Structure 1
């Protein structure tokens, strides 16, 4: 007959066996497991130290390259943009230091900044598209606008206001139908509407246009993240429509931005994905990148375009061959004594 003592002894035996098994298992597995973890930790630490060393060397190399380029920038850029008028266009979110540095390099290359257009965040708001379209129509006197979305039509109108319009333009681009078109009125209208701000005299037609991309990419529209397909932030679409319009109107265009602009959702990356017909630079902000941006402008003046910098889709670090320096304009001859007497 099985009594309570038998059950008690059986239960104690089972728990004792479990305890012995656990002790033996942990003792036998402890050393191999710890050794494996220690080895992996050591390997990861060595890899981290190697990557840190490589990063420090890359930083030193970049710093040295920037210092070298800064020291010889005058010689590298002299007369590259002589007699060229450059319009500087800022997207919302451009850092003032980046803009000022690029303008300084344009002047170092003997170029003239004809003016600056800084677009506001309001211009890019999706809810403003209808207003942008209506404003474009109101200011289109003397201009035949192409079909397209509001930002394409606005870009075509603004391009006529700021880009040298003496060149032949392809079909579908805004064209002037008479002498009534007033570029200054167009800029004033967009300024009064809070869509952009103006410095200098951008209505004096420019030969070249430098469009500066923001440091932080524009956000996606609500719901775009869930589409599962390649999407374009609305801000990118609006600003790239401007750049395309400037290029189609006959101006040489360079879109320049810091490395982040060539990252996910960046303007430069989007432009390259669309295979735009103007130049891009993906490392502006550093001394070397700013020089490359100016050389890209000079190459555009020669009718050459390309994608420059360090991004995967770049054609090379800088234009090859380098653009030629422009000859200095001959000074006006001084009047002779006889001429002065006649006058």
Structure 2
């Protein structure tokens, strides 16, 4: 018969065996284990130092590249946008430093900026779509409003109010710019209507005085409505659809438009990422906000005035870092030889004349 003393001895023997095993194990394995850990720590430290050195070199190269591009930007952009009027279209949350840098490059290329449209968050809010649709009907000014969804119609109405008709279009209709209001259409009134509705703010005087649009993506991707169940990080915001429709309409009206943004614009849910996935016909640049990226954006505007487009930068879906071939400089009235044109010879385009159209 097994009594209590037998159980007690057995339990003591088990714990004694465990104690002896732990002592022997730690004593025998201590040196190899410590040596392994020390070796791994040393290896990781060396890799970290190598990566830090590579990062420093990459930053120095990037700084040097920016300095090089900045030094030759004037020659690269000379006359690329001479005579071209560029309206700046800002989505909500645009980085102001990026905008200012882009405006400087447009002006450096010889272009002018008659004004800017700064959109409010309400414009891209899907709950405001019905309101936007009704507003377009009110602003149609007696004409049949464009067909399609709310944002397709709003985009076409805004594009019509911003983009000046080409010389060919004026010749076909016999319409002069100053006659537009008399003919029943007032571009400034359309922009004022959107502004009074709280959907955008107008800076400057871009109404009917723009040849092409530069649309700026937000610094961070638009948020997806919380109604998405379950939440998904790669689902694009409805605001993307609204501003892509606007950019598409601007492209159709001007035969060219450019959508630009920084690295976040090609992240999942980014507006440029979505535009590229939809194979939109307007140009895109995903490196805006950098010295080289702003120059590329100005070059993208220039090729757009030539009827070309493409996706430029470093993100997914790009054609190249910059347009290839590069755009042709837009000659001013003075010819390149510095001599007067021969009798009967046509002068080059006036600075105010639209380019490539």
User: Into which bin does the TM-score normalised by the smaller protein fall?
Assistant: 0.7 to 0.9
Contact 2:235 2:268 (C-alpha < 8 Å) held by counterparts: no
Superposed displacement of residue 148, structure 1 = 2.3
Instruction: Tell me the residue number matched to 2:141.
Output: 141
Contact 2:217 2:259 (C-alpha < 8 Å) held by counterparts: yes
Inter-CA distance 59–225: structure 2 relative to 1 (3 Å threshold): farther
Name the SS of the counterpart of 1:245 in structure 2: helix
Superposed displacement of residue 190, structure 1 = 0.5
Inter-CA distance 153–20: structure 2 relative to 1 (3 Å threshold): same
Structure 2, gaps ≥5 residues long: 170-179, 341-357
Inter-CA distance 14–325: structure 2 relative to 1 (3 Å threshold): same
Name the SS of the counterpart of 1:240 in structure 2: helix
Instruction: Tell me the residue number matched to 2:199.
Output: 195
Superposed displacement of residue 293, structure 1 = 0.3
Instruction: Tell me the residue number matched to 1:81.
Output: 81
Instruction: Tell me the residue number matched to 1:153.
Output: 153
Please list, as runs of the form range in 1=range in 2, the aligned pairs for 1:1-343 lying within 5 A after superposition. Answer: 5-166=5-166, 179-224=183-228, 226=230, 231-330=235-334
Question: Structure 1 residues 189-198 or 216-225, which shifts more?
Answer: 216-225
Give the Cα–Cα distance (whole angstroms) in 2 for the partners of residues 186 and 143 of structure 1.
13
Structure 1, gaps ≥5 residues long: 169-175, 334-343
Contact 1:295 1:322 (C-alpha < 8 Å) held by counterparts: yes
Give the Cα–Cα distance (whole angstroms) in 1 for the partners of residues 2 and 217 of structure 2.
87
Task: Report how many aligned residue pairs link the two structures.
Answer: 324
Superposed displacement of residue 149, structure 1 = 2.0
Superposed displacement of residue 117, structure 1 = 0.7
Contact 2:141 2:185 (C-alpha < 8 Å) held by counterparts: yes
Structure 2-normalised TM-score?
A: 0.84
Give the Cα–Cα distance (whole angstroms) in 1 for the partners of residues 165 and 43 of structure 2.
63
Instruction: Tell me the residue number matched to 2:345.
Output: none
Instruction: Tell me the residue number matched to 1:341.
Output: none
Instruction: Tell me the residue number matched to 1:172.
Output: none
Contact 1:142 1:179 (C-alpha < 8 Å) held by counterparts: no
Give the Cα–Cα distance (whole angstroms) in 2 for the partners of residues 230 and 217 of structure 1.
11
Give the Cα–Cα distance (whole angstroms) in 1 for the partners of residues 317 and 47 of structure 2.
29
Inter-CA distance 302–24: structure 2 relative to 1 (3 Å threshold): same
Superposed displacement of residue 2, structure 1 = 5.8
Structure 1-normalised TM-score?
A: 0.87
